[in-house]
Amino acid sequence: MIRLIFLTIVSLALISCQSSTGALGSLIATITPTPEPTATATPVPPTPTPEPTATTTPTPIPDVIATALFSANLRQGPGTDYARVGGVAIGEQFIVIGKNEQGNWW
């Protein structure tokens, strides 16, 4: 009995959907699947590569070796006003570690 009522209702619905030309209207729904979203890669800007910088390595200053041509006093500073701290003999060699601005005392 329930089937008969259902078929009657469906039949009435189909009859009411007919157009004036007798053709059935759009009674049957068309199911259109919704497309699934796809992941898109977000472009990442490239990390800039730093430019190499020129590295200058200072050239080491070679030791200056002096040879005493005569005996002399070694003093704490450039001039006879400074205290004597030692002496050198003829032919003795030593490393010069500085000189004054005028260049006359080593």
Can you read off the two tokens belonging to residue 75? 């003093």
Residue 29 confidence (pLDDT): 61
| HSE-up of residue 36 (Cα within 13 Å, Cβ side) | 2
Contact criterion met (CB below 8 Å) for 93 and 66: yes
Which string of DSSP letters, residue by residue, matches 34-79?
PPPP---PPPPPPPPPPPP---PPPPPPPPEEEE-SS-EEEESSSS
Per-residue pLDDT of the chain (106 residues; tens, 9 = 90+): 544 444 444 444 445 544 444 544 455 666 778 888 888 888 888 888 888 888 888 888 888 888 999 999 988 888 899 999 999 899 999 888 888 888 888 7
Neighbour count for residue 94 (Cβ, 10 Å):
15
Calpha distance 13→6 (Å, rounded): 11
Question: Residue 10: what pLDDT?
Answer: 46
pLDDT for the residue 6: 45
